[in-house]
């Protein structure tokens, strides 16, 4: 605990100064971004033979693609002069630090790692984020719309609910008005787009089309090594990790029967009409 006591005091000081300005004029707007370490999207996953989960040993891990988009958006907001600091946060085992380094190399100013082992469901992650938000007082929390491993699509909405903040989910465009402390968010909904306007602080979750994330350059990867990653445990944040869900089994999806290759359009129509009876 004592190794970052100075850091804690610093953050208490900055926090009390920032707190006074938070909801009116805000020259030093901070953005917090959630990043999750997941199995790389291009990996063809394998289910473990004992059906307890999927094989994650010796498998390439990366930052969840939606989190990259979230971080990119935060960096663009900062580069547009609308924010002063971007803090990347990751939760889970020690290896999450690698993902945070990637985030720092992309341009995040500093990072926070919440060191937690065992299954972390979105509700627990949301509670940890709420605790961090209360500590760090960001004006904007940006997350990806879903993680490509559990495909839950819950964490952002849950944090917003716990904080009582507005939520702009599945965002494909975000425009901030610093003067009025408003965010205008275009959301991807069934059948098209919807535009919402919300007060800051707010939670935003990113859809694919929000932006194209940048690559970390070599000099920035070097620079990222000296940036600060602060570590917390759930206990330090006073969050009890409940495990509400019990995994009974993980299985392979049913295999489709091998199909046939036909050589002409007539044959294709024949198969669909007379064998499959679908046209």
Contacts of 244 (CB under 8 A, 6+ apart): 121, 123
Residues in 116-135 at the binding interface with another protein, rule: CB under 8 A: 121-123, 126
Contact pick of 47, 61, 82, 221 for another protein (by CB under 8 A): 47
Q: Which is nearer to another protein, 122 or 138 (CB)?
A: 122
What is the C-alpha separation between 160 and 144, in angstroms, rounded? 13
Our CB check for another protein shows the closer of 134 and 267 to be 267
Q: Give the residue, chosen from 9, 12, 17, 209, that forms a contact with another protein under the rule CB under 8 A.
A: 209
Least distance between another protein and beta carbon 278 (Å): 4
Residue 168, classed as helix, strand or coil, is: strand
C-alpha distances out from residue 103 to 113, 129, 277, Å: 12, 17, 52
165 binds another protein (CB under 8 A): yes
Least Cα distance to 92 among 50, 155, 43, 48 occurs for 155
Closer CB to another protein, 101 or 127, in the complex: 127
Give residues 77-116 in contact with another protein (rule: CB under 8 A). none
Of 50, 214, 240, the residue nearest 131 (C-alpha): 240
Question: Is residue 181 within the footprint of another protein (CB under 8 A)?
Answer: no
Query: Which of 60, 191, 218, 219 lies at the binding interface for another protein (CB under 8 A)?
Result: 191
Q: Which is nearer to another protein, 101 or 137 (CB)?
A: 137
Q: Would you count residue 260 as binding another protein (CB under 8 A)? A: yes
**Angle, CA of 43, 48 and 53, to the nearest 5°:** 85
How many residues form the binding site for another protein (CB under 8 A)? 81
* 47 within 8 A of 255, measured Cβ to Cβ: no
Verify binding: residue 240, another protein, rule CB under 8 A. Answer: no
Strand partners, 90: 113
Q: Does 44 bind another protein (CB under 8 A)?
A: yes
Q: For another protein, which is the closer residue by CB, 1 or 279?
A: 279
Q: How far apart are CA 73 and CA 67, in angstroms?
A: 10
User: What's the length of the chain?
Assistant: 279
Binding to another protein by residue 264, rule CB under 8 A?
Answer: yes
Among the candidate windows 25-33, 97-105, 191-199, 224-232, which touches another protein by CB under 8 A?
Answer: 191-199
């Amino acid at each position: 605990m004592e190794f970052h006591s100075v850091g804690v005091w610093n953050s208490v000081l900055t926090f009390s100064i920032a707190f006074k300005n938070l909801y009116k004029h805000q020259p030093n707007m901070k953005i917090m971004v959630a990043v999750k370490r997941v199995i790389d999207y291009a990996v063809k996953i394998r289910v473990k033979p004992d059906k307890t989960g999927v094989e994650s040993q010796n498998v390439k891990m990366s930052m969840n693609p939606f989190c990259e988009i979230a971080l990119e958006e935060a960096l663009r907001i900062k580069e547009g002069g609308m924010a002063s600091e971007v803090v990347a946060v990751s939760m889970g085992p020690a290896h999450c630090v690698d993902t945070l380094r990637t985030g720092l190399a992309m341009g995040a100013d500093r990072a926070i790692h919440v060191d937690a082992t065992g299954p972390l469901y979105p509700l627990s992650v949301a509670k940890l984020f709420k605790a961090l938000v209360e500590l760090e007082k960001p004006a904007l929390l940006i997350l990806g719309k879903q993680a490509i491993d559990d495909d839950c699509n819950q964490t952002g909405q849950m944090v917003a609910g716990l904080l009582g903040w507005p939520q702009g989910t599945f965002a494909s465009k975000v425009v901030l008005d610093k003067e009025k402390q408003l965010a205008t968010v275009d959301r991807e909904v069934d059948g098209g787009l919807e535009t919402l306007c919300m007060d800051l602080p707010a939670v935003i979750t990113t859809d694919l089309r929000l932006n194209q994330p940048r690559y970390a350059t070599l000099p920035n990867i070097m620079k990222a090594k000296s940036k600060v990653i602060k570590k917390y445990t759930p206990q330090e944040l006073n969050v009890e990790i409940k495990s509400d869900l019990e995994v009974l089994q993980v299985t392979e999806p049913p295999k489709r029967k091998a199909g046939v290759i036909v050589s002409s359009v007539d044959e294709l129509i024949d198969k669909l009409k007379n064998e499959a009876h679908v046209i």
